[in-house]
A = this chain, B = another copy of it.
Amino acid sequence: MLTGPFEDVEVGAEVSTRGVTVTETHVVQFSGLTGDQAWLHVDAAAAEAGPFGARVAHGLLLLSMCGGLMYEHSSEWALANYGYDRVRFTAPVFLGDTVHLGVSCSAKERETADNGVVCLALDLRNQRDEPVLVAQQRVLVAKRGTDR
């Protein structure tokens, strides 16, 4: 399982999240919230003439949505989000595409008396099951009986 205390997390365990449609609203709000107004995301006319033929979602919006999709599967034993490694944007996501996330435990590291680090492999896919983002995440997870 992925959501218990450190001892119970098993390398190889997997979960698959709900899907969410990446809408024009998401892209416009994300541009505004962050200030990234790059033409590939906000200018439909320029994007139509560009490499993908249409506006695409920001890579960091997709990574952020991974955080939201994982929220419903997050462990109450998680103490902190250490960070991300090897985040790669592997295919464009267009406005109207629907993505869902696969998460698996790839390793357990740095075990101490109280906690340890769980390494997660993130695999975000679109409605055609094509990978659009892969990443590794490291989360600090408490052991059973520790005072969280």
> What residues of chain A have their CB less than 8 Å away from a CB belonging to chain B?
18-21, 23-26, 28-39, 42-46, 55, 58-61, 63-72, 74, 80-89, 96, 98, 127, 135
A34 to chain B, nearest CB (A): 3
Question: Which of B64, B71, B87, B89 lies in contact with A38, CB distance below 8 A?
Answer: B71
A71 to chain B, nearest CB (A): 4
Given A42-B20, A59-B83, A82-B88, decide whether A71 and B32 contact each other with a Cβ distance below 8 A: no
Chain B residues, Cβ within 8 Å of A67: 34, 36, 58-60
A31 to chain B, nearest CB (A): 7
- Looking across the interface, which residue of chain B has its beta carbon closest to that of A21? B44
A60 to chain B, nearest CB (A): 4
Bound: A37/B59 CA distance, A: 21
16 contacts between A and B (CB under 8 A): A19-B43, A19-B45, A21-B44, A30-B64, A31-B32, A33-B61, A33-B64, A34-B65, A35-B72, A38-B71, A44-B98, A45-B98, A64-B64, A83-B86, A84-B84, A87-B87
